[in-house]
């Protein structure tokens, strides 16, 4: 199993970030739609396992399968590009600017939401037999998650908002570590193991992931949960996106760049005086002329 050294790792991360801004809008959207769909289907799977077995740890152990599959297939998540593209921008990669970075983030956000919302609709149909019956036990569990992570935060006011933001920061510190782990080796098994650990941690700890929430909260609303779209946006999605950005860039990307990015070495200039002195020392000694020729 080959290991990529940190200095080479940063080179790979910056190259990956630069590559993402060169995709067409259609390519970026497709990559993001598929990434959001696969991840949130895994979230539905994990909640199902946790609910039916009564073992949340088992759900957390299985959830990373979605994250691993989407990265092995080359799809994108907003949480990942929050780390990779700023690194490429810091490294001054050609074509990477503030404008291209924001454009990519906007397209990936939109694509992730389309993918996650599609899964939310499909799962709502699945949990209610096409909206002809009350939600199943798993559907009720998803509804409660949506209620607790919006109204539950709002009940604590500023403290609730701070808690939400911190959970979002910690979430992408782990998720982006999983993204980085993908580049730590060129061995598939090594990539799987490296990604599995931080993703399992974030899910079990209940940290806030903006794309997973794009599934959980629309699902809750479709299943009759007691919160509103504005509750979802103000007391979860918007602060979660901001926290994910801070966690991915400040806690993962920037430290790696500051610690391991290659620095161009300036050639040492030879001082003029020593150079002249060295030349003089090497020159043959000339005899002194005592007088003029007669």
CATH number of residue 106's parent domain: 1.20.1080.10
pLDDT value of residue 2: 87
Domain annotation covers residue 293: no
Counting as low any pLDDT under 50, the low residues of the chain are 264-294
Q: How far apart are CA 36 and CA 40, in angstroms?
A: 6
Q: How far apart are CA 38 and CA 214, in angstroms?
A: 13
Q: How far apart are CA 180 and CA 175, in angstroms?
A: 9
Domain annotation covers residue 177: yes
Phi-psi region of 226 (alpha: psi -120 to 50; beta: other; left: phi over 0): beta
The enclosing H or E element of 36 equals helix 25-53
Of the candidates 44, 23, 178, the residue with the CA atom closest to the CA atom of residue 111: 23
Domain annotation covers residue 170: yes
- Show the domain range for 39: 22-262
Phi-psi region of 74 (alpha: psi -120 to 50; beta: other; left: phi over 0): left
pLDDT value of residue 1: 55
Sign of the Cα torsion 13, 11, 17, 76 reads negative
**The total number of structural domains that make up the chain:** 1
Domain annotation covers residue 6: no
Domain annotation covers residue 126: yes
pTM: 0.88
User: Does residue 257 contact residue 249 with C-beta atoms inside 8 Å?
Assistant: no
Domain annotation covers residue 216: yes
pLDDT value of residue 219: 96
Sign of the Cα torsion 109, 27, 173, 203 reads positive
Domain annotation covers residue 69: yes
Domain annotation covers residue 13: no
């Amino acid at each position: 199993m080959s290991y990529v050294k940190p200095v080479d790792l940063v080179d790979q991360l910056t190259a990956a970030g630069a590559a993402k801004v060169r995709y067409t809008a259609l390519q970026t959207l497709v990559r993001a739609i598929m990434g959001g769909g696969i991840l949130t289907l895994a979230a539905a799977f994990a909640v199902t396992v946790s609910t039916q077995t009564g073992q949340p740890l088992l759900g957390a152990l299985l959830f990373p399968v979605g994250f691993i599959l989407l990265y092995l297939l080359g799809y994108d998540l907003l949480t990942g590009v929050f780390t990779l593209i700023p690194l490429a921008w810091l490294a001054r990669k050609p074509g990477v600017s503030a404008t291209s970075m924001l454009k990519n983030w906007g397209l990936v956000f939109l694509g992730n939401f389309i993918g996650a919302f599609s899964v939310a609709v499909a799962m709502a149909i699945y949990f209610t037999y096409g909206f002809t019956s009350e939600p199943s036990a798993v559907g009720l569990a998803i509804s409660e998650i949506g209620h607790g992570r919006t109204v539950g935060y709002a009940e604590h006011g500023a403290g609730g908002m701070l808690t939400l933001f911190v959970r979002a920061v910690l979430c992408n510190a782990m998720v982006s570590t999983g993204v980085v782990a993908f580049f730590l080796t060129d061995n598939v098994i090594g990539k799987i193991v490296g990604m599995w650990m931080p993703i399992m941690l974030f899910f079990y700890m209940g940290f806030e992931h903006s794309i997973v929430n794009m599934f959980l909260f629309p699902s809750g609303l479709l299943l009759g949960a007691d919160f509103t779209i504005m509750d979802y946006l103000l007391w979860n999605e918007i602060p979660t996106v901001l926290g994910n950005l801070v966690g991915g860039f400040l806690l993962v990307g920037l430290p790696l760049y500051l610690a391991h990015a290659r620095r161009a070495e300036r050639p040492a200039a030879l001082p003029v005086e020593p150079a002249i002195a060295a030349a003089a020392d090497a020159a043959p000694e000339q005899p002194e002329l005592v007088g003029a020729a007669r």
